[in-house]
Structure 1
């Protein structure tokens, strides 16, 4: 993995198969597709609403109004084809420890099972380590076995801390020292 800037001088992370860089407005349809594919067990605030929100236009505006930062979700682009297939990055949710970011990733279903989530996450983890972070967190639903496997491959350990929700399942807290 190497950090650098792509042709438009955006911050970027590179792996053998992937380029991780800030989202572009023209890629809002990929985010929209991610929203439409989400498991129905995901809580409503992360689901497409009954009136179809967020729309592609909503997501375009969100990209336009949120400039890249050191903590954020980067578009994951396949080097071979140029297709954007999802996101990976760091979010600062303030839980469970304020100031310690959380690793997050989500890929379009047609790209599952090829190691892209693991590869992208390793790039983000290397960047986080080189940026001075000592630990990363990740939360995952107990029913999300695929993401739990990715986190285990990355060396994240379940902490025993969880947040049960009778409607949506239990959120498990995992962490990894860098």
Structure 2
């Protein structure tokens, strides 16, 4: 991620939040997100039996993300301004299963967010996602999508508040439940 918007590498800012690049010393917070994930989440998105990803793995990921971020938003750290603590992430990633289910020719970006349990239920995800959506509009992105497990009621509530609609259901073969593909058109699609 480039330092495009202000001091300290701030990418986006809201009334209560700052979205900025992850710092290597915050790898433990990123790992805490992994440890808190619901057991219904596929194994490759949870800490494995060998303890991977380890703290060192996530430190390396942060270094890699800093070197390869380009002009996209990526998944910046979500920092509360008043407390100065990181509580998760919110941003855009390219592709993903939902994108190709929507339109294999033009997959487009996926909005993704995840907050530590202690920060959930306070409107932070909605606030951050609205800032990311505004960034996408200014970047002239035509639509956003999000994939979410059908059992993930809190994330579905956030997406509903943002005006995302379910456009497709992908049936999981791994016993994790159905995955919903949700979409929001930001501006008329061009052909």
TM-score when normalising by structure 1: 0.93
Contact 1:162 1:173 in 2 (8 A): yes
Deviations 1:11-62 (A, max 9, x none): 5100000000111111111100000000000001101000101111110011
Which one of 169, 183, 189 corresponds to residue 175 of structure 1? Answer: 183
Aligned to 2:57: 58
Contact 1:158 1:175 in 2 (8 A): yes
Paired with 2:173 and 2:129, the residues of 1 have a C-alpha distance of 27
What are structure 1's unaligned runs of at least 5 residues?
A: none
CA RMSD in angstroms comes to: 1.6
**Displaced runs of 4 or more, over 6 A:** none
Query: Structure 1 or 2: larger strand share?
Result: 1
Query: Structure 1 or 2: larger helix share?
Result: 2
Aligned to 2:22: 23
Which stretch has the larger CA shift, 135-144 or 154-163? 154-163
What are structure 2's unaligned runs of at least 5 residues?
A: 187-191
Aligned to 2:129: 121
Structure 1 position 164, deviation (Å): 2.9
SS across alignment from 1:164: coil
Which stretch has the larger CA shift, 33-42 or 164-173? 164-173
